[in-house]
Amino acid sequence: VRHLMIAGNWKMHGLQRQVQALTTAIKEGVTSYTEIEVVLFPAFVHLNQVQALLTQTAVKVGAQNLYPAPQGAFTGEVSGPMLVDIGCQYVLVGHSERRMLFQEDLALVAAKCQAAVAVGLQPILCVGETKAQRERGETEAIIAEQIRTIIECVGVAALQQAVIAYEPVWAIGTGLTATPEQAQAVHAFIRHLVAQNNLDIAKAIRILYGGSMKADHAAPLLAMPDIDGGLVGGASLDADHFLAICARAHQQQSEYS
Ligand code: 13P
């Protein structure tokens, strides 16, 4: 049984006071959702603060990005060893906002994935197609290229400690969610791609859905056989909304167990 994960990507939001309140509310609210894994992704500058608030809880912390080199003259960047050192377990890699706004190409995303795995961080590899690509019928080709580059450059074994997030670009921050059937079809395709390289890893790897996930429609998404949780943006900035999604995941996990 794969354990459902609900991850909150706070992106570039929040000042210390809000981060304090949000983290505290989430930490207190999730204590009854013992069946699932909850991970928060604050901005770099808030990682220590969030980490300190979460000690002795089951909630984990991850970073939104890393630089591939372990150290050096890379002004403004943050390395994998630095993240491990302050207690991060996860790191987002290849988020579409970084692929598009900061021109992160397939090779850079693979290098980041490799750097994460090398220091024991668990990468959450984000993949997804744009609206135009979907309309041209290129969804599977785009996803396959994004996944295959990782397998070719980093090796399929790296996926043993990774999570994949399917985030259709047209669903991010738009209020448009993929239907459970649309998402399931892509998730099954991703699992099939991994299975072509390693069946055991394909069965074990968690594939999250991301893109305008909200509490009121999370349940049917989470009930799909190849959807193993959610990577939540906007709704993770509101403790009640985020906790309501965690509740749905907890309920779904109880049905599996
Ligand atoms: P929204 O939930 O705001 O659409 O963001 C999704 C996302 O990009 C998570 O990484």
pLDDT at 134: 97
Q: Which helix (H) or strand (E) holds 252?
A: helix 239-256
Main-chain phi, psi angles of 90, to 5 degrees: -125, 160
- Smallest CA-to-CA distance from 157 within 108, 197, 106 is with 197
Active site (catalytic) residues: 95, 167
d(CA 73, ligand 1 centre) in Å: 32
The set of protein residues with a Cβ atom below 6 angstroms from ligand 1 is 9, 95, 167, 172-173, 210-213, 231-235
Ligand 1, atom nearest to 213 Cα: 2
- Residue from 174, 213, 216, 217 to probe ligand 1 pocket by mutation (most atoms less than 8 Å from CB): 213
Ligand 1, atom nearest to 165 Cα: 10
d(CA 171, ligand 1 centre) in Å: 8
CA 26, 226, 210, 245 torsion-angle sign: negative
pLDDT at 164: 98
* Structure tokens given for 244: 């309501």
What is the CB neighbour count within 10 angstroms for residue 138? Answer: 15
pTM: 0.98
pLDDT at 1: 83
- Residue from 5, 6, 10, 11 to probe ligand 1 pocket by mutation (most atoms less than 8 Å from CB): 11
* d(C-alpha 124, C-alpha 116), whole Å: 10
pLDDT at 257: 83
What is the CB neighbour count within 10 angstroms for residue 72? Answer: 9
Q: Provide the residue-wise pLDDT of the chain in tens; the chain has 257 residues.
A: 899 999 999 999 999 999 999 999 999 999 999 989 999 999 999 999 999 999 999 999 999 999 999 999 999 999 999 999 999 999 999 999 999 999 999 999 999 999 999 999 999 999 999 999 999 999 999 999 999 999 999 999 999 999 999 999 999 999 999 999 999 999 999 999 999 999 999 999 999 999 999 999 999 999 999 999 999 999 999 999 999 999 999 999 999 98
* d(C-alpha 138, C-alpha 35), whole Å: 36
Burial 33-67 (b: 16+ CB within 10 A, else e): bebbbbbbbbbbebbeebbebbeeeebbbbbbbbb
